[in-house]
Structure 1
Amino acid sequence: MALQDLASTYPAHVAHMQALADRALERGGFDHLVVPSGTLHYQLFDDRDYPYAVNPQFKAWAPLVRNPGSWLVHTPGERPKIIYLQPFDYWHVVPDAPSGYWVEHFDVVVIRTPEEALRHLPADPARCAILGEPLSTVGDYVPNNPAAVINHLEYHRAVKTPYEIAMIRRATAHGVRAHRAAERAFRAGASEFGIHLAYCQAARQDANDLPYGNIVALNEHGAVLHYTERDRMPPRELHSFLIDAGASHDGYACDITRSYAFDRDSEFQGLVDAVDAAEQRICDKVRAGTDYADIHLYAHLEMATILNQARVVDMSPESMVETGVSAKFFPHGIGHYIGLQVHDVGGFLASEDGGRVEPPAGHPYLRLTRTLEPGAVVTIEPGIYFAELLMKELAEGEHAGAVDWDRVDALRPYGGIRIEDEVVCTDGEPVNLTREGFAALD
């Protein structure tokens, strides 16, 4: 989507945010919504700061991700205000003067010190819903994070505006370009660290710009779900590669996973292809009115079918799911909301008033339990892993006899397989942003 198209969809996004805030304030009994962008955190007993991460409640309004010490103020019936910190500073790069398609939709006030914000915030902090972390406190403006306001905003974050979907699409374009570079580096024999550097170069984003730490796993490391060690030297023999890595665009994230066998004609590549085909069938289940937990359970049947057909487990797919055997090979959830955050908020909320919808019994790591609505953007990420701890538990359990342990041992050096796409729920067929992004490169 071109910049002018973002500019054309942004006014409706701001209007949507104002309407949501109006209702949230009414529910919470407040007059103003006040959102600090966040501040720098310093390490204990040191003068080094942690990488700055903007408050998601702030960047939901405007594409500002490098502006610590700034504030958003919304009062129903009034034009929203951005208090924009542009300090006098010769030690660090100072944010540019406010500019871009977002500026005309706000009253923008430039301040030079964090304390100067007090002159532009509402008169009575007690009448404000202040959403942020304690370190953002200025004067009497202490974040109170009222549940009624946050629940309402986070429940409705599940449905993205056209502007937000365009932003995720742009993040995805960065991500797929980098994934292609990572695969080339893998085929060339690079180390995990070298592949990571190739990814960052192609994404044109440093590690601190990425929405989460890259998972770059060669061989058996692919069985560690959140492997982030990144060996500096390549293994003596290459078997497989699993990469779970995203990219950012003005505060929005993408989240993509791909798996490869070094030998394209190997049995393991056949398993990768089977998981990839199943993943696309699962993506097609992202339909309005569908309970996301049902998609998760369907994914377990798909992975169990692959395990049965590959002669790894001699049980029916249904029995594998019912007894929990499938969860030893596929221990995580099928996915989550994605948007301003990789694991976007509201996945368990029962309603805009709060409450929690629990995951199905035996599946505690599912991050989304709601019914899908048009505009929701979710990830779909099935996998099959040969993780040492889980295989040990399975070997010591009552269904150990159904497993061909020679085949498991042959597959352990490959670690595991995960395929992940981002999918938009619509009024009709789902839109796979990830597959569209890769297709655009071909």
Structure 2
Amino acid sequence: MIQPDFTVLYAAHLATMKQRADEALARGGFDHLVVPSGTSHYQLFDDRDYPYAVNPQFKAWLPLTRVPHSWLVYTPGERPKVIFHQPFDYWHVVPAAPSGWWVEHFDIHIIRKPEDALALLPRPAARCAILGEAQSTLGAATAEQYAPNNPDAVINYLEYQRSYKTPYEIALMREAQQLGVRGHRAAEAAFREGASEFAIHMAYCSAVGQDLGELPYNNIVALNEHGAVLHYTELGRTAPAPVRSFLIDAGASFHGYASDITRTYAMDTTGEFQALIDAVDSAQVAMAQGVRAGVDYRQLHIDAHLALMGILRDFGVITVSPEAALETGVSAAFFPHGLGHPIGLQVHDVAGFAETDRGGKIARPPGHPYLRMTRVLEPGMVVTIEPGLYFIDMLLDEVRQNGLAASVDWARVDAFRPYGGIRIEDEVLCTDGDADNLTRPAFAANA
């Protein structure tokens, strides 16, 4: 794969960020955009901090994810400024001097103590749109205080625009795909060798080269029935006997951008559960191809229900039509989550429900409370497509309690229950033409 020229791509990305900031500040009536990178949170009754997570509004500008107490300052018409916290510290590793494809575009000021930033922030503070957590506040309340105000007009516009990824962002997300797929290949190999969930997780982290503090989310590594727990993160230390199935939902990070990939495997590659996996996989490919400009994501979600119920009907699990299963809620017992979500700087990225760049919310379809995206697709958006079929006892019990037991062949459910469930997830870029699946090529390149 040809390595992208991030220096060129970043320059264009920064120009876009400035244009967006100009409009956001104008809408909010502010003169300056001020973005703290964030600080560490300390645990209650302890002197240990939680893992640091950078402010997404900060890393939207800069490929810096491990520099707490730093600041981004932008004033329209002026060169942007980075206040870079590089403390004198012998307890922790100090961030290296700023370097990389971004440095030539900024005035960089090194500070040794967090409060040193006060002298470098624009005045007056009341003219600044400050985007961040309350704990990033600098200054005394009786003097000039820089407390995040997160003005709606600014936040709404910037988050809405984050839906449209720049070529720089797409290039970073492709790199995150490559890293994630490397881990997935290692995890599948460990599964087929009979490893425990914990050992599979460790194989994944080793292959990716990232630990829990660097991965974009906690890995879901589920063997057998554990695949029926949507966010299973317990990581059993002993492999079950026998090992039947494996569901892994795991991603990777690359300069602040996330990948989010799910695959399901059967130990017996000739059995009926493998056939069910293959059917879901084929349906998922077709769903991903439906990511096109002008398509309502809510309709993609409803269509996914119909496609998945068609599969269950073909396998004899349900006895009614896909349409009847959807109308009565039976489909939600087998596919209880949403089809996917926006992704980028955050795994569940912002503005999935945004009605306009001035606010408002597009409602979910009735009966589908867990869908995380309700917008019409447009070029530049990246979404996940992650259909799933699960055999979850508590949801199936509700089907019985709701008088719909005849809609299900319970003997077929019993046959599939020991395998837990199936989920297949890719990331897909909406373009002016065909959908651009970011995930499948990475698997093909790492076959």
Normalised to the residue count of structure 1, the TM-score between the two structures is 0.99
Give, in whole Å, the separation in 1 of the partners of 2:424 and 2:4: 33
Aligned to 2:142: none
Residues 268-293 of structure 1 show CA distances to partners (whole Å, capped at 9, x for unaligned) of 01000000000000001100111111
Residue 415 of structure 2 corresponds to residue 407 of structure 1? no
Q: How far, CA to CA, are the matches of 1:293 and 1:118 in structure 2? A: 46
CA RMSD of aligned residues (A): 0.8
Aligned to 1:57: 57
Query: Hey, what does 2:32 align to over in structure 1?
Result: 32
Q: Could you report, residue by residue, the CA deviation over 1:384-438 in whole angstroms, capped at 9, with x for unpaired residues?
A: 0001110111122222112110110111110000000000000111111110100
Pair 1:434-2:439 in alignment = yes
Q: Give the equivalent residue in structure 1 for 2:222.
A: 217
Deviations along 1:156-197, one digit per CA (max 9) or x if unpaired, are 111100000000000110000000000000000000000000
Report the counterpart of residue 211 of structure 2 in structure 1: 206
- Residue 66 to residue 403, structure 1, CA distance change in 2 (3 Å): same
The offset of 1:323, in angstroms, is: 1.4
Q: Which residue of 2 aligns with 1:347?
A: 352
Summarize the alignment of residues 55-204 of structure 1 with structure 2, pairs less than 5 Å apart: 55-139=55-139, 140-204=145-209
Match of 2:239 in 1: 234
Counterpart of 1:9 in structure 2 is 9
What secondary structure is seen at the aligned counterpart in 2 of 1:172?
A: helix
Deviation at 1:153, TM superposition (A): 0.4
Which of the numbers 313, 323, 341 marks the counterpart of 1:336? 341
Deviations along 1:210-268, one digit per CA (max 9) or x if unpaired, are: 00000000000000000000101100211100000000001000000000111101100
The alpha-carbon deviation at position 2 of structure 1 amounts to 5.7
Aligned equivalents of 2:176 and 2:329: distance in 1? 36
Q: Deviation at 1:57?
A: 0.2
Residue 275 of structure 2 corresponds to 270
Contact 2:4 2:171 in 1 (8 A): no
Q: Is 1:383 aligned with 2:405?
A: no
Unaligned runs of 5+ in 2: 140-144
Contact 2:216–2:253 (CA<8 Å) still a contact in 1?
A: yes
Paired AA for residue 329 in structure 1? F
CA distance in 2, matches of 1:255, 1:295: 19
Q: What is the CA–CA distance in structure 2 between the aligned matches of 1:211 and 1:362, rounded to whole Å?
A: 29
The CA distance in 1 between the partners of 2:4 and 2:102, in whole Å, is: 12
Deviations 1:86-130 (Å, cap 9, x if unpaired)? 111111100000111100111111111100001110011101110
Percent identity reads: 66
Alpha-carbon distance in 2 for matches of 1:7, 1:436: 24
From the superposition, tell whether residues 99 and 3 of structure 1 become closer, same or farther in structure 2 (CA, over 3 Å): farther
Rounded to whole Å, the distance in 2 between the matches of 1:320 and 1:105 is 56
Amino acid at match of 1:40: S
Counterpart amino acid of residue 319 in structure 1: A
- What residue number does 2:42 align with? 42
User: What code does the residue aligned with 2:41 have?
Assistant: H
* 1:277-327: CA deviation from partner (whole Å, max 9, x where unpaired): 000000011001111111101100110100100000011111111211111
2:258 corresponds to which of 245, 250, 253: 253
Q: Structure 1 residue 441: deviation in Å?
A: 1.2
Q: Which one-letter code corresponds to 1:24 in the other structure? A: A
Cα distance in 2 between the residues matched to 1:235 and 1:4: 44
Distance in 1, matches of 2:401 and 2:273, equals: 26
| Secondary structure, aligned partner of 1:350 | strand
**Partner SS for 1:242:** strand
SS in structure 1 opposite 2:360? Answer: strand
Runs of 4 or more, structure 1, over 4 Å off, are 1-4
The residue identity in structure 2 corresponding to 1:180 is R
For 1:362 and 1:114, how far apart are their aligned partners in 2? 48
3-state SS of 2:310 partner: helix
For 1:92, give the aligned amino acid: H
| Structure 2 letter corresponding to 1:73 | V
Cα distance change, pair 2–47 in 1 and its aligned pair in 2 (3 A): farther
- CA 1:365–1:188: 2 relative to 1, 3 Å: same
* Matched position secondary structure for 1:73: strand
Query: Within 1, Cα distance between the matches of 2:281 and 2:41?
Result: 41
Residue number in structure 2 paired with 1:420? 425
Output the CA distance in 1 between the equivalents of 2:424 and 2:336. Answer: 14
Alpha-carbon distance between aligned partners in 1 of 2:320 and 2:430, rounded to the nearest angstrom: 34
Unaligned runs of 5+ in 1: none
